[in-house]
Each structure stands twice: as structure tokens, then as C-alpha cells.
Amino acid sequence: MPIPVITIAAADAPKSGCAAGSCGSTDKQMSHLPEHIRQKVFNHPCYSEEAHHYFARMHVAVAPACNIQCNYCNRKYDCANESRPGVVSELHHPLQAVKKVLAVAANIPQMTVLGIAGPGDPLANPSRTFETFRMLSEQAPDIKLCVSTNGLSLPENIEELTKYNIDHVTITINCVDPDVGAQIYPWIFWKNKRIKGREAAAILIEQQQKGLEMLVAKGILVKVNSVMIPGVNDKHLEEVSKIVKAKGAFLHNVMPLISEAEHGTYYGLTGQRGPTHEELQTLQDACAGDMNMMRHCRQCRADAVGMLGEDRGAEFTMDKIEAMDINYPEAMKMRAGVHAAINAELEAKRLAKENKVQVVSIQGLKKKKSARPVLMAVATKGSGLINEHFGHASEFLIYEASSEGVRFIGHRKTKPYCEGGDTCGDGESALDTTLRVLAGCEVVLCSKVGYEPWGPLQAAGIQPNGEHAMETIEDAILKVYEEMREAGKLDTKADEQQKVA
Amino acid sequence: MALEIIESCTNCWACMSLCPSKAIYEAKPHFLIDPNKCNECSGDFEDSQCASICPIEGAILNEDGVPLNPPGSLTCIPVHRLAA
């Protein structure tokens, strides 16, 4: 009967459909998920945008062999200075890998997830992969196990996968059309033969889709990764997104192609470019109409350790681990305490947000005036706070503020402008990199920003802002957006034209 | 009649479990093929298994010293770019 009440209630309830403009937002991303899935992903940094501010992950490099070739991969993978999938410094036997996982878990209690992702394909190394999972499921039951695969050998391994408490699988699906696939995969190894061209792509696609269906039928959560390759599969990925969603994948992660010539990949050496930030975001938004999108992926190495975006692998090399004496049952108690504290913090934040959302949406109704969206960059070390110095940031999180609210767009890597102390010698060029990386952003929020970068940032149209140190990212962005609105900086072109008239 | 793994091998393990003669073994600095055991898969498979999965062009030679996967044959990278 009272229509206004119904309107407000409807606005607060989780939407069943997914508007392109709201899908990336931190809490909405989670609220779309059924409760049983939310329970599985709330502390998984790779599957939940919110979780990645609090929880850490690690990969162990036990799976060197691969059964396919991708044009963005080079199998000479031993490089300490590269940060991308398929690259590792040290290959581990399963026993070493387990020792490493226990050492990391005891030292980084926020580490909740262990993934096997390469450097080849985990399921092309089934005995090494499953031996590692088996030992970990026995010795460290508080660690989630997950695996990332190209999907070729997925159907034949699903029975085995379900034995070790693996409830997350990522499949890299770059296409559903063999003609597109033939431009991405030069060969596969299948039934004791190397197969090339379109035929190879057709087999791979069939196995991937079959594997996806079988996993969903088993109740295992599936995330789909896709590499966006401009001119090859960029148009095609919208269709991929629709199909994998229809089959039951719960999250789609469209990642940009990495193709530096010095990596020696086919794409790198033949001049295939990766997408721009804008192209990637446009595709992610287009897919978001149908699918829950992931935008916080850092495309980490097959031996990465730590929070997403950081790599503490160097602290846990095999020689250092051999010297550590880990009592895991004791460590597990300490870990449980840390996890409980984080969960309590998350729950408190969620409740606070719920209350605030109601207030904001009511106020928002009053003031709803056309205001253009604004991109803002944030320097953070985690916990969802603005807590990193501008000059120390090696990456910025990008958010879009609009009258709809705040949504997470993605991250952009840079070189830290200043490493601190007296190592600022080549700070000049690093600042140029950061200015280029932040193109399109109008504000950069950080805990502190020095005098020196202030001028160049402003000249580039990016307002430095250190006034919201230690505040929650989304709250600070909303405040700054509101200030900009009040200062008349957000008038749309139409408004300006009216004013002039 | 035996194949040979040479120094461009990256030790990825892919070939070892496929060898029907168990001729491939882990060694430093790279995997090796025992020439007394290798029969190039004759009688077992149409194609030599190690050479069919090896991702590195030129890493496996036949008994005449000729690479079974010559440069450009797997990655499709044009040979003049490979040299760079």
C-alpha cells in the first residue's frame, strides 16, 4: 500500500539482476552470491574483492609440465624479476612444497589459500599435484586448496580432485570458437600425439566446457579466467562470459594480455599488444551485464607468496625453510585467533555499512542531481584503508565514484616513486610512470604525499589528497566525491551548457 | 637408435612419465635419455612421446643429431625473430 516505503525497501534488497554500473562494487559483488557460495569465498583473496584486502594466498610451483602451448607463454620460465603467471624461481617436489606451505602459514597467519597453478599445468602433473594436495589436506586442514588449469585434462581428473577438499577450481578459457582458439594455441598434446591448429583448439575447448559442467555438477566452485587479446578474442569474450555463466561458473576474471618482447613469447615477439586500461574496463563492464566479474586479479607468479600485489617469496626460499622448525598444530591455534579477529572486523564493517547504505540511499534520493562519474586512485597496504604513502606505492587501486556509489574498477601497477631514504636518484622517471599509469584519474588518495610530486600531479589533472589517511577507502572516496560535487566540479556538460545559456 | 636431450632442455618433467621405455632420467644440468633403453617409441607409439610434448624447439635430437622440433615449428615464432 505505501508506495514510497516499498520503493526504499526494494532499493536496499540485493538485486537479482546485475546492472553494469553496480557489479564491481565491493559488497554487491558478494551480495549477489548465494549464501553457501559466500561462505566458501569470504576469506579467499582471489575470489572475493573484499577478502583480498585482508587475506593472503600462496602458490607452490610443483607442476612444471604442460600439455599445451599458449601464445602468451614462454616455457623458459626461470626469472626472479618477472611477475606474471608461468614464472617461478624454484621448482619444488611435493614434500618441499608442503614444508614451504606450513612455514608460510605459520609466519603469515592471514594466508588462507594454497593454490597450484604451474608453472606448467597442474593437471598435466597429476601425481605431483595430488601428492601435494593429499599431504596438505591431512596436515593443514585450515588451508583452502585450489587449482588453476587450462582444462585439457580436467574431465579425467575430476574424481581425484574431489578427494582432497578442493572446492575451488579456476579454468582459463580464452575462447569457445576453434577459429579464435587457433590464433591463441599453436598446439596441444592429446592422446599421445601433438596436435596443431584448429583441431587442437577444438579439442581443448570441448574438454574445458566438459570440465566446467562436471565441476559444477559436483558442487565445486568454478572461476573462469580469460586473457584479453585485442584483435584476437576481445569481441569474442562477451560470448564466452555468457556461456560460462549459463553453465554455472560463479566468477569471470578477464585479464589483460602481458606481451613484453623481452619475455620471448609469440605475442611479445610478433608485436601483439595488450589492451589499454580503458579497453579492459569497457569489456569487463560489457561482460558484467551477465556475469559476476573479478577486477582485482594481480596475475601473480606460479610461486607467489603473500597478499595479492605483494610477493614475499624471497623470505621463504628452500634454504631458509630448511632452517625453520614449524610446529603446525600450535601455529594452527594462533591462525584461528587471527582469522577470528579479521572475521569480526569484517562483520563489524559489514553491519556499519548496511546501516550507512540505508542513510545514504535516503539522502541520495533527495540530492539526486546529475553528477558525472570520477575515477580516483588509492594507495593502500591492505585492510581496506588508505594507509600507503604515495611514493611507496607499487600499485594503485582504481575506484569509480558516481551518484550510484563507489565501485572498484581495478588496479594499476607502477614503480614506487620513492623507495625512501636516499635511493630516490631515479625518482624522476618513476614519477613519470606513475603519472602515465594514473591517466584518467582525477584524485589520488594516499596516507601521505610529498611536496615534490604535488605539482606534476596537479599539472596532470590529478589532485593529490593526503587528508584521509587511515580512513576506509570507500568512505573517503564518497567524502571527496561529495566535496567535488559541492564545489561544482561534477556538473555534467549539459549543466555547464545550461549555465552558459 | 636413440634420441638425445640437449642443453636447451628446461627440466619441465613433461617427457619423463610418457616414455614407454623409462629411458628418461632426471640429471644435472638437464634431463637425459639412456641410449641403451630408448627405442624412439617404435612398437609403442606412432610418434616419439618425448618429442611430441617437449615445448622447447631444438631440445630433442634424433640419432643423426637433427632436431625433431626445429626452430619455429612449435611456437610459430618467425625464425628471424627468434634470433633477436
Q: Per-residue confidence of chain A (501 residues) as pLDDT tens digits? A: 333 333 233 333 333 333 333 333 334 455 566 777 777 787 777 777 777 888 888 999 999 999 999 999 987 765 555 556 666 667 889 999 999 999 999 999 999 989 998 789 999 999 999 999 999 999 999 999 999 999 999 999 999 998 887 878 999 999 999 999 999 999 999 999 999 999 999 999 999 999 999 999 998 999 999 999 999 999 999 999 999 999 999 899 999 998 888 888 899 999 999 999 889 999 998 888 767 888 777 777 777 887 777 778 888 888 898 888 889 999 999 999 999 999 888 888 888 877 765 555 555 544 556 788 999 999 998 888 999 999 888 889 999 998 888 888 888 888 877 754 444 555 457 888 888 889 899 999 999 998 888 999 999 999 999 999 999 999 999 999 999 988 888 886 555 455 444
What is the pLDDT at residue A469? 92
* CB-based contact A191:A206 (threshold 8 Å): no
Cβ <8 Å between A75 and B10: yes
Q: Tens digit of pLDDT for each residue in B18-71?
A: 999 999 999 999 999 999 999 999 999 999 999 999 999 999 999 999 999 999
Chains A, B: CB pairs < 8 Å: 63
Report chain A residues touching chain B, CB-CB < 8 A: 64-67, 69, 71, 75-78, 91, 120, 124-125, 127-128, 186-187, 189, 192-194, 266, 269-270
pLDDT of residue A403: 85
Residues A78 and A211 placed together within one structural domain of the fold: yes
**A355 in the same domain as A280:** no
Residues A305, A167 share a domain? yes
The answer to whether residues A353 and A305 belong to one domain is: no
pLDDT (0 to 100) of residue A1 = 36
**Which value, in Å, is the radius of gyration of the alpha carbons in chain A?**
23
Question: How close, in Å, is residue A177 to chain B by CA atoms?
Answer: 20
From the candidates B48, B53, B73, which should be mutated to test the interface with A, based on the most A CB atoms within 10 A? B53
Nearest neighbour of B52 by CB, restricted to A69, A189, A269: A189
Q: State phi, psi for A192 to the nearest 5 degrees.
A: 65, 20
What pLDDT is recorded for position A134?
96
Range 4-63 of B in CB contact (< 8 A) with A: 10-14, 17-18, 45-47, 49, 52-53, 55-56
B81 touches chain A (CB under 8 A): yes
Listed in sequence order, the residues at least 6 apart from A99 whose beta carbon sits closer than 8 Å to its beta carbon are A321, A322, A326
Q: Do the chains contact at A266 and B47, CB–CB below 8 Å? A: no
User: Minimal Cα–Cα distance from A192 to chain B, Å?
Assistant: 7
The cell 595488450 sits on which residue? Answer: A274
Name the strand (E) or helix (H) holding A111.
Answer: strand A111-116
- Residues of B with Cβ-Cβ distance to A67 under 8 angstroms: 14, 53
A397 neighbors A378 (Cβ within 8 angstroms): yes
| Nearest chain A residue (CA) to B9 | A76
Look at B14 and A69 and tell me if their CB atoms are within 8 Å: no
Q: Are residues A306 and A382 in the same domain?
A: no
Choosing from A285, A313, A341, the residue where a domain stops is A313
Please list every residue in chain B whose beta carbon sits closer than 8 Å to the beta carbon of residue A194. Answer: 47, 52-53
d(CA A183, CA A374): 37
Q: What pLDDT score was predicted for residue A267?
A: 93
Please check whether residue A301 lies inside any domain of the structure.
yes
**One domain, residues A71 and A145:** yes
Does residue A280 sit in the same domain as residue A364?
Answer: no
Rounded Cα distance between A472 and A452, Å, is 26
Chain A residues with beta carbon closer than 8 angstroms to that of B76: 71, 186, 266
Q: Are A67 and A121 in contact (CB under 8 A)?
A: yes
Which of B13, B56, B77 is opposite residue A125, by nearest beta carbon?
A: B13
Which of A75, A232, A270, A272 to mutate: most B Cβ within 10 Å? A75
The sheet carrying A463-465 orders its strands as A405-413, A395-402, A374-378, A443-445, A463-465
- Cβ contact (<8 Å) for B55 and A64? no
A269, B56: Cβ pair inside 8 Å?
no
Last residue of one domain, picked from the residues A274, A291, A313 = A313
Residue A96 inside a domain? The answer is: yes
Angle (nearest 5°) at CA B60 between B59 and B64 = 125
Closest partner residue to B53 among A67, A91, A269, by Cβ? A67
Mutation for testing the A interface, residue in B12, B49, B60, B82 having most A CBs under 10 Å: B12
Contact A65 B10 (CB under 8 A): no
Q: Of the candidates A62, A231, A210, which has an alpha carbon nearest to the alpha carbon of residue A148?
A: A62
A165 and A278 belong to one structural domain: yes
The total number of structural domains in chain A stands at 3
* Domain membership flag for residue A101: yes
**Contact list, B78 vs chain A (CB under 8 Å):** 269-270
The span from the CA of A444 to the CA of A456, in Å, is 13
Q: Do B12 and A193 touch (CB under 8 A)?
A: no
pLDDT at A40: 77
- A59: CB partners within 8 A, 6+ apart: A114, A115, A116, A117, A118, A300, A301, A302, A303, A304, A305
Looking at the fold, whether A360 and A384 belong to one and the same domain comes out as no
Residue B27 identity: A
Chosen from A72, A73, A193, A262 to mutate, greatest number of chain B CBs within 10 A: A193
- What strand order describes the sheet that includes A111-116? A251-256, A221-228, A166-172, A144-149, A111-116, A56-59, A305-306
**Could you tell me if B70 lies within 8 Å of chain A, comparing CB atoms?**
no
Q: For residue A302, what pLDDT is reported?
A: 73
In a shared domain, residues A355 and A290: no
CATH of the domain at A283: 3.20.20.70
Structural domain boundaries enclosing A117 = 16-313
Strand ranges inside A379-470, DSSP E: 395-402, 405-413, 443-445, 463-465
* Interface contact flag, A193 B47, Cβ < 8 Å: yes
Among the partner residues A76, A193, A269, nearest to B52 by beta-carbon distance:
A193
Percent of chain B residues past pLDDT 70, beyond the cut: 96
Q: Do B14 and A120 touch (CB under 8 A)?
A: yes
Residues A128 and A149 occupy one common structural domain: yes
Is residue A304 within 8 A of residue A57, CB to CB? The reply is yes
Asked if the Cβ–Cβ distance from A65 to B53 is below 8 Å, we say yes
Query: Can you give the residue ranges of every domain in chain B?
Result: 1-84
Would you call B13 and A69 a contact, using CB atoms and an 8 Å cutoff? Answer: no
Give the per-residue pLDDT at A7: 29
Specify if A9 maps to a domain: no
CATH code of the domain occupying B1-84: 3.30.70.20
Domain membership flag for residue A177? yes
Give yes or no: residues A204 and A73 share one domain. yes
- Rounded to a whole number of angstroms, the distance from the CA of A434 to the nearest CA of chain B is 30
B72/A contact by beta carbon, under 8 A: no
- 8 A C-beta contact, residue A86 and residue A31: no
- By residue count, chain B amounts to 84
What local confidence, expressed as pLDDT, does residue A308 receive?
Answer: 78
Distance, in Å, from the CA atom of B81 to the CA atom of A359, rounded to the nearest integer, reads 61
Burial of A81 from C-beta contacts in 10 A (0-12 / 13-18 / 19+): exposed
